[in-house]
Amino acid sequence: MHAPGFIVAALIFCAIIATIYWMLHPPSTRTVQIAADAAKQAKSIAGDILVVFSADIHSEVLMALAARMAKGQHAELVAIYVIEVPMTLPIAAELPQQDRQALQALTAATEIGRKMGLEITTRTIRDRQAGPAIIAAAREENARLIVMGTYREQSYAGAPLARTIEYVNTQTHTDVLIGVSSAGDRPSMFNVPPPALPPTRSPSRA
């Protein structure tokens, strides 16, 4: 075979091989690349996961999700309950109803964690507003993820939780996971009522 013919045949053969390789190994699309990057970032969570509760924030369902994430990533899980103390009262004022709500919410969070095979840390925080308290707790705990839920999407604007969400999102670089319940009265995994308070016993008369 003449040299020019051999070179042409070799080039054609290489082109065929390259085409077959390209067909078997197509370049990653942007969507595939985004998914790969997201999965990589999810695996690199380092630091605590902070789950937030308050009178307006009910995170029981998301607590289970956070526990699964923490266990899978070997991260610490912290649940806080923020009691918002009115400006008209001292910060250490006695608030028995709010204290009972905090105890019940954090007890439920602890039980959820245990069912997932995870021991969690719980804290009750008193502050004038939930937003600053959440930001401070996230910094203290070196949180890489703040978990908050839930609110109904159609009543988001102007709601107490809406203001807290907006404050937290604008004051931190930490990722925030927020639960959104279904619109109207349709069934939703987030439609979990807050724990009922035990009835207050009236003092017995002698």
- Residue 203 confidence (pLDDT): 47
CB-based contact 77:28 (threshold 8 Å):
no
Q: What is the CATH number of domain 45-181?
A: 3.40.50.620
- Residue 150 confidence (pLDDT): 67
- Residue 31 confidence (pLDDT): 63
Between strands 121-127 and 77-84, the pairing is parallel
Peptide bond into 174 cis (omega under 30): no
Whether the predicted pLDDT of 160 surpasses 90: no
How far apart (Å, rounded) are the C-alpha atoms in residues 91 and 127? 7
How far apart (Å, rounded) are the C-alpha atoms in residues 167 and 85? 18
Sign of CA dihedral 151, 38, 81, 108: positive
Average pLDDT (64-88) is: 89
| pLDDT tens digits for range 22-60 | 666 665 666 666 666 655 555 555 568 999 999 888 888
Q: Is 158 helix (H, G, I), strand (E, B) or coil?
A: coil
How far apart (Å, rounded) are the C-alpha atoms in residues 74 and 53? 22
Whether the predicted pLDDT of 191 surpasses 50: no
pTM above 0.85, yes or no: no
